[in-house]
A and B are shown apart, each in its own frame.
Chain A
Amino acid sequence: MTPLLSVSGVSKRYGPHIGCADVSFDLYPGEVMGIVGESGSGKSTLLNCLAGHLPPDAGRVVFDTRSEGPKDTVTMSEPERRMLGRTDWAFVHQHARDGLRMGVSAGGNVGERLMAVGARHYGDIRGKATDWLERVEIDAARVDDRPTTFSGGMQQRLQIARNLVTGPRLVFMDEPTGGLDVSVQARLLDLLRGLVRDMGLAAIIVTHDLAVVRLLADRLMVMKDGHVVETGLTDQVLDDPQHAYSQLLVSSVLQV
């Protein structure tokens, strides 16, 4: 089977400082990869390089496009990459405000990707938007409300709806539950889990929260100082960590 995403040798430096170094992995359709590490580990840099937000200094990020087969997204033209970002790829930001238009209604936010790829029937767009609001457990009556009137958890769920409405195959998530109350996190994680499975999504999730990866990720990559120190099956890396840093990370988690 062709990997959905094939990453080889991705590196990014900030002057003498290593952002991420020589990261390689293959991601298959439906697989969820967690990237964990503490602040400064390079996980966000890596995610941004993979998602096309930051140009890596070296390496290839080959995505299996629908129309042309595997293509290196690093050397892709900007229009192509931006189109990918609106259709097959999705990016869920840590802060919903970065991923939403705060001055546009919830329905408009969800409908934007549809309109960006040519949807021109108001009724259909609104219907799809309302469907998706319900899927992410937002009351459909809020379809005309602006996200400024939503709680943090609702904004995050709206961001997810906005991203998933065009049925992307690969979702990048940056600390999707960061900053949310614990009970809100639990609900969001459950929702994500369900959506990922129902839609057969592949996902790359960056987080410092091991509970999130335990729940959502099939595979795990542990990063420290820009390097991947360990990689493998999620429950294996968490229950039987091999690398010193992974062992430290796992043992540091407070038990409730």
Chain B
Amino acid sequence: MIELENVSKTFTLHNQGSAVIEVISGVSLSVVPGECVALTGASGAGKSTLMRMIYGNYLTQAGSIRIGGTELVGAAPRDVIALRRETLGYVSQFLRVVPRVPTVDVVAEPLRAVGVAQEDALARARALLGQLNIPERLWALSPTTFSGGEQQRVNIARGFAHSYPAMLLDEPTASLDAANREVVLSLIEAAKARGAAIIGIFHDEAARSRVCDREIDVSQFTPGLAA
């Protein structure tokens, strides 16, 4: 479902003396439906960078990234957008929201984007918010004023609203208490069970060993860090 072949990335900082930083090189990996693969490695090894490259948020300098057979590297913006809408989900560490949009609409948005009717989308959104213990009185408010943990859970709810065949999860259990961590892990397990291919970054070893089938140490691809 997710296939990387010989992927490399370099940052060129033009305004800082044209410093060239090769962050990652020669990455090849493959994730099949129903599998959850963890990216591991020291901080700065390039885990988040690689995840962003798979999402298309960062430009990939060389190599091939295929999601469900669609080539991402060099793809037209509208194709990437279509991919993100239907096929590839991403739960990042930060919730970026439009001011004034109520939480329940934020969560329902990915479903509306794939054509689900308003009422059904809202119903699913409410169910997820309930599962993630966001109090009902907050559903009509914009998440901009929520605590870090609450925002994270809204982020997760939004990420899991639509059943993406491929998912990227960046620290999904960070800043969550035990109960909510448990909810998130069961959401991941449910996604695996329905055949999603998942790549995740988990600092929490227990979480990692619970849901991940394999681990890939990204430091082996980081120039200067490889052992």
Contacts and interface: CB of A to CB of B under 8 A. Distances in A.
A2 interface: no
Interface residues of B, number: 18
Interface stretch (B94-102, B155-163, B180-188): B94-102
Contacts of B13: 247
B72 to A, nearest CB: 11
Contact of A239 (B14, B57, B81, B101): B57
B64 to A, nearest CB: 17
A236 B98 contact: no
B145 interface: no
Contact of A193 (B52, B56, B98): B98
Looking at B58, B78, B81, the one whose CB has the most chain A CB atoms below 10 A away is B78
B15 interface: yes
B59 A187 contact: no
B12 interface: yes
A232 B100 contact: no
A186 B13 CA distance: 32
Contacts of A251: 15
Interface in A17-64: 28, 31
Contacts of B100: 186-187, 190
Contact of B56 (A190, A236, A242): A236
A254 interface: no
Interface in B38-65: 52, 56-59
Given A233-B81, A244-B14, A244-B15, A239 B58 contact: yes
B15 A218 contact: no
A233 B56 contact: yes
B9 to A, nearest CB: 9
A247 B14 contact: yes
A146 to B, nearest CB: 28
A31 B77 CA distance: 9
A141 interface: no
A232 B59 CA distance: 10
Contacts of A242: 12, 59
A240 interface: yes
A72 interface: no
A119 B131 CA distance: 52
Interface in B66-82: 77-78, 80-81
B15 A232 contact: no
A53 to B, nearest CB: 26
B57 A235 contact: yes
Contacts of B56: 233, 236
Interface string A232-256: 1111100110111001100100000
A224 to B, nearest CB: 13
B78 A190 contact: no
A86 interface: no
Interface of A: 28, 31, 186-187, 189-190, 193, 215, 218-219, 232-236, 239-240, 242-244, 247-248, 251
8 contacts: A190-B98, A190-B99, A190-B101, A193-B98, A232-B59, A235-B57, A240-B59, A242-B59
Interface of B: 11-15, 52, 56-59, 77-78, 80-81, 98-101
Ranked 7 nearest A-B pairs via Cβ: A244-B14, A240-B58, A219-B77, A233-B77, A186-B99, A190-B100, A240-B59
Given A31-B78, A233-B80, A251-B15, 17 more contacts: A186-B99, A190-B99, A215-B98, A219-B78, A232-B59, A233-B56, A236-B57, A236-B58, A236-B59, A239-B52, A240-B11, A240-B52, A240-B59, A242-B59, A244-B14, A244-B15, A248-B14
